[in-house]
Amino acid sequence: MTSRNSTIRYGLIALLLSTLGLQGCSTLVANAANEFGANLSAAVLNQDDPETARAAIPSYMVLIDSMLEGNPDSSGMLSSAATLYASYGAVFAEDSLRASRLTTKARRYSQKAMCLRYAEACAWRDMNYDEFVASVAGVKPKDADFLYTYGFATLAFMRAHSADWDTLAELPQIEALFEHYLAIAEDSVTASTHTYMGILLTLRPPALGGKPDVAREHFETAIALSNDRDLSAKVEYARGYAKMLYDRELHDRLLTEVVEADPYADGLTLSNVLAQEEAKVLLAQADDYF
């Protein structure tokens, strides 16, 4: 259980603030403060000290909560709030109770946003797998970003509640959700989306539904789309695929490349610094695993 919990946590690092970029933090602070929102988003994305980001993001969370007090049915602000709460709860909240509380709120925000955009989503949590897949298939490209945020927030929630097997049973639904997102998002698809698909497809062994060969394609696509700059893709490739197949050579090569890389890249610096920290830990543990 601990390894699955860690995988979900560090997989979310790849999406931590790239999701904020996808949603557009400028929408978070409304039209009157577009430039402020864009600049704040960039500042956090490019922060090279994770502790500074940890300290700064809660103020942003309070800001958007205050805006929702006056506009509770804004699907855009609800979706942005879900992203903030899910990101912080999954990556920075060390206390399990706090992580649970933050990600529960994220999931609630994301479902309300999705429900406002697509009425059938109001009942998604009560649907079985077949019903859910059929319903998700009806989401149109104009709502792709909201679908993405719903999946992201749900996965953050699952990470915080990983001791609950009933919660983890939703994994197949979320895989189907992201597959539909990839089909409809067109130019909105980022490298981190493929990284996350790779993680989802390697959370379980092949005998239980895992698809390592498909996951490898997603990881390779993520690396290519980011021009080798998104280091989280390589960390998750090593953790999810190379370890599953006991490929020590691939595992060590990928992680060594991460450790030796320059982490500074526009929009990726924070996630890259976090990825380098995790790569060092995985390399140090390699002799015990292989």
Provide mean pLDDT across the span 180-203.
88
Q: How much is the pLDDT for 139?
A: 98
Q: Do both 145 and 12 map to the same domain?
A: yes
The answer to whether residue 11 scores a pLDDT higher than 50 is no
Q: Among 66, 59, 25, 63, which Cα is nearest to 45's?
A: 25
pTM value surpassing 0.85? no
267: domain CATH number? 1.25.40.920
Among 160, 189, 218, the domain boundary falls at 189
Q: How much is the pLDDT for 134?
A: 98
Residue with tokens 């709502």: 143
> 236, 278 in Cβ contact below 8 A?
no
Provide mean pLDDT across the span 109-125.
96
Among 189, 221, 241, the domain boundary falls at 189
Helix 75-91 vs helix 2-13: angle between axes, to the nearest 10 degrees? 130
Provide mean pLDDT across the span 120-130.
95
Q: Do both 1 and 61 map to the same domain?
A: yes
pLDDT tens for 208-238 read 888 999 999 999 999 999 999 999 999 999 9
pLDDT tens for 44-60 read 778 899 888 888 888 88
Q: How much is the pLDDT for 34?
A: 46
Number of domains in the chain: 2
Q: Do both 28 and 3 map to the same domain?
A: yes
Range of the domain at 52: 1-189
Angle (nearest 5°) at CA 275 between 271 and 278: 145
Distance CA(233)–CA(235), nearest Å, equals: 6
The answer to whether residue 29 scores a pLDDT higher than 50 is no
Q: Do both 2 and 145 map to the same domain?
A: yes
